[in-house]
Amino acid sequence: MGLSVMFNATAAGDGGGCLPMPIVAAEVALAVIDASISAAAFVQLARIHKHDLQNGWTRQKIFHFMIGLCNIVFVAYFVSTIVATCEKWLCWVHGCGFVLMASPQILLLASFLLLLSFWVDLCHQTSDEDEEDVASHHEALLDRTKNKPGICAVDLRRRCCSGVQLGSRQKFVILVLLLSFVVTIAFAILIWVGRGENPIDSSLLKRVYLDVFSVVVIVLGGALACYGASLFSKMSKVRSETGSSEKRKVASLAAVSLICFSSSAILALVTNVPVLLYWYSTDADIIYNAAILFMYYFIGSSIPSGFVLWVMRDIPHRQTVERPTHSRVVTLFRDRPSITQDPQWRTAVTSSNKALKSSPI
């Protein structure tokens, strides 16, 4: 179908080796879209950070940074593809272009893996975590009754280090991110070596990488859909003012992830468009290839990135107003538990309140 040719800058086209105009138009359109998404992500990140200076790197800030970063790299890739093809950069054809193509996809994959890790944490909260919360709550009550000289330093440290707490699943995501870049660089080195007279087939290596990555993306989309449905079911049993809004966010984000990731991965498996260029035998082939290229990146990266920003668009509430109320609630719980409530009941309430206050997004 014209998609089995290796990434080759000398593929026929108008303009002395440059990409044909329909493909250039698709690349430019994708660059403009991703540049807009990246700008929106960083502008919103600045607004959130200015509004919430007391907290550190919250989930909302991390996702905005990751989405902005991966879309900047996408822009660099699209622009470099146009320039490198016309200038016939040897490094671009035999490895550098492959690394720059894979990098934003890995960053986007890591962003949604991070989202999945938070959802898994919420769906698999254990009683041990609740007991730790109750124990820390009692320690806080005891600390308030004792005038320790270092308590101000402890409070200051908690304020400065507040934000996302990295659990074992989040650390696993970071490990996957690092290993993905290592594997990508290893493939790029093999592709570079395969340009000479040797048994290494660079085109085959690119297809293998694309197939494996596409399968991972399909699995990620399915996992987000499954845990999104499970989290939606759990949230449906809890009534709160923000519950319905959060449920809609979870459901819509899970659906968009499943549809977009599955569609783009299947498109990549069928056409091999992300890592291969094409023979331009007819004008119809050029237009077809440009349409496939645009659909793959727009569905697989632009739509999920933009949707995440839309879901996380709300500015967090300032916490300065909540602190006096929180201290009064602690005092009330201190006076009455031994008479009317047993420890198991308080543990259940603590777990329920934590699930209500922590947004799954």
pLDDT tens-digit readout, 303-357: 999 999 999 888 776 655 445 555 444 444 444 444 444 554 455 445 544 544 4
Residue pair 224/111 in contact (Cβ under 8 Å)? The answer is no
- Which amino acid is located at 351 in the chain? S
Amino acid sitting at position 77: Y
Q: Which residues contact 175 (CB under 8 A, 6 or more apart)?
A: none
pLDDT, residue 17, reads: 67
Residue 161: its pLDDT value, please?
44
Instruction: Give how far the C-alpha of residue 46 lies from the chain's centroid of Cα atoms, to the nearest Å.
Output: 18
**E runs forming strands in 128-271:** none
Distance from C-alpha of 232 to C-alpha of 360, rounded to nearest angstrom: 10
CA–CA separation, 121 and 115 (whole Å) = 10
Identify the sign of the CA torsion 221, 222, 227, 228: positive
- Please tell me the distance from the alpha carbon of residue 193 to that of residue 195, in angstroms, as a whole number: 6
- CA torsion sign for 201, 204, 205, 206 is positive
Distances 165 to 56, 62, 112, 323 between C-alpha atoms, Å: 10, 12, 17, 21
CA gap 12, 280 in Å, rounded: 6
What pLDDT shows up at residue 191? 82
What residue ranges of the chain have pLDDT lower than 70?
1-17, 126-165, 196, 239-243, 274-282, 317-361
Question: Angle at Cα 223 formed by Cα 222 and Cα 226, nearest 5°?
Answer: 85
Query: Which residues lie below 8 Å from residue 312, measured CB to CB, with a gap of 6+?
Result: 44, 60, 63, 64, 361
Tokens of 50: 């200015």
Output the pLDDT for position 67: 95
- What's the pLDDT at 145? 36
DSSP for 70-98 reads: HHHHHHHHHHHHHHHHHHT-HHIIIIIHH
Backbone angles phi, psi at 57, to 5 degrees: -85, 95
CA–CA distance, 345 with 307 (Å, rounded to integer) = 39
